[in-house]
Structure 1
Amino acid sequence: MNWRDYWNQDTPIYTSERHKLLHYRLIANDIIGLIPSPEAVVLDYGCGEALFADKVAAKCRQLYLSDAAPLVRERLNERFQDNGRITILSTDNVTDLADASLDLIVVNSLVQYLSLDEFRALLKLMHEKLKADGTLVLGDVLPPDLSPLTDAKALISFAWQGGFLRSAVSGLARTAFSEYRRIREEVGLAQYSEEEILDLLEDAGFEPRRSERNLGHNQARMTFVARPAQARDTDDFAER
């Protein structure tokens, strides 16, 4: 089994429904803070279940939700089929979007599941689809020194604040013996230093920088903001 197959099923990665709801609400709020204007066209690439995508769509003109997993897309279509601002795409169909048509692209918690060649190809595609003054945001990038224990501590802190501590503790125990753990050991997760991500973005034609904070709850991971090289990025999403 590879990572794409793993995500095309119900997984134990969320320790409870409350955990899932709070996670997606936090990500949605972070994305809303990145939207440059009510007329913006936004792509959430590798969006997952995107439970609060309707809240994001209300802040922009068009929201594309793209995911590689057919099961995820089926659920997205069921949830948002009546929302005219939301379009569901497979990741393969993103190539059909017009070049230079997107104001904002968010790729959150996906880079770790890609090979280096896949990552380079993705950056090339994102550069093609962004407007000259558009913004690419890579969120939840794993640094080389990040340990599972650090991730666990971040989850416990999030659970304490969010009121799902008991399920988080039991969920961590389940994950230790889960398919996720096995695949992580067999396939691995891609980890990059800040310098490596900046170099890859520059090679793809972007002017990048690391954001002051990561998307989501885990501040041991990294977020990068990049614009096509001819444009200048002046605002940090943490300051919006």
Structure 2
Amino acid sequence: MDEWIDYYDSTHTIYASRLHRDLHFQLIARDIVGYIASPDSVVLDYACGEALSAARVADACAMLYLAEPAPGVRGRLIARFAPNTRIRVRSLEDLSRMAEGSVDLVVMNSVAQYMTPAELDSAFAVVRRLLKPNGRLVIGDILRPEVGMFRDVVALLKFASAHGFLKDALYGLASTALSDYRQLRSRVGLQRYGENEMIEKLSRAGFSTSRAPQNIGHNPWRMTFVARHALNLN
């Protein structure tokens, strides 16, 4: 995961335009809010990235923790949300010092593909300790083994066409083909999981899991899962 952290901590060009970037975070925030059960909820966004629309999520809950591994991104989060008393920024290491059973909802969106299977298992263990007995883990944007990059491109172009940045998206795709992202993706790769494979992986981590009807974000070819503490674990 370290190489991906370094990439996202750099001045990257993963978004086709500012509009693409802003809409991306607005859509994710909207979908996260849909999983918040109560305005009294404590929510953790695990490896949140820039989280530009986090204030919208914070408005829907009592406290929002933004946990981010990239130090540069984390610094921007702290500066951006310092006036918001409902938002706290943490490193991933800080999560081990949070109280057990203190979080109602954990969201890991577009994270699993950048982690090794062992890193993801470790993250699940941290999350399970933090979740309240009736809490939920929502893990979104899971890449499927049978779905290639072509579907990602189609999903982006449909999203761009619907929101008025198609020209920028086409230019961005051409730029990405020659970018550090494409080279890193080719060298390091992205983790993919089938539906049953992810459910079984979460089961081994102590969760009872089902696939959500819709993925978080704009890409319908990726998957989102909702996990809870499994009952009667030894």
Q: Where do 1:1-240 residues align within 5 Å?
A: 2-230=3-231
String of CA shifts for 1:11-63, please: whole Å, max 9, x gaps: 11101000000000000000111101000000001111111111110110000
Q: CA deviation at 1:136?
A: 0.2
Task: Give the whole-Å Cα distance in 1 for the aligned partners of 2:97 and 2:36.
Answer: 22
Secondary structure, counterpart of 1:2 in structure 2: helix
Q: CA deviation at 1:148?
A: 1.1
Task: Give the whole-Å Cα distance in 1 for the aligned partners of 2:161 and 2:93.
Answer: 38
Moved more, 212-221 or 1-10: 1-10
Task: Give the whole-Å Cα distance in 2 for the aligned partners of 1:91 and 1:66.
Answer: 6
String of CA shifts for 1:49-102, please: whole Å, max 9, x gaps: 111111110110000001111111111111100101100011111111111110
Counting matched residue pairs gives 231
Task: Give the whole-Å Cα distance in 1 for the aligned partners of 2:90 and 2:96.
Answer: 10
- For normalisation by structure 2, the TM-score amounts to 0.97
Over the aligned positions, Cα root-mean-square deviation in angstroms equals: 1.0
Q: CA deviation at 1:146?
A: 1.8
Conservation of the 8 A alpha-carbon contact between 1:207 and 1:227: yes
Q: CA deviation at 1:7?
A: 1.0
Conservation of the 8 A alpha-carbon contact between 1:143 and 1:191: yes
The amino acid of 2:160's aligned partner reads A
- After TM superposition, where is structure 1 displaced by more than 2 Å over at least 4 residues in a row? none
Task: Give the whole-Å Cα distance in 1 for the aligned partners of 2:16 and 2:47.
Answer: 20
Conservation of the 8 A alpha-carbon contact between 1:132 and 1:230: no
Q: Which runs of 5+ in 1 are unaligned?
A: 232-240
- For normalisation by structure 1, the TM-score amounts to 0.94
Task: Give the whole-Å Cα distance in 1 for the aligned partners of 2:175 and 2:99.
Answer: 43
Q: CA deviation at 1:230?
A: 2.6
The amino acid of 1:172's aligned partner reads L
Secondary structure, counterpart of 2:44 in structure 1: strand
Q: Which runs of 5+ in 2 are unaligned?
A: none
Task: Give the whole-Å Cα distance in 1 for the aligned partners of 2:15 and 2:48.
Answer: 15
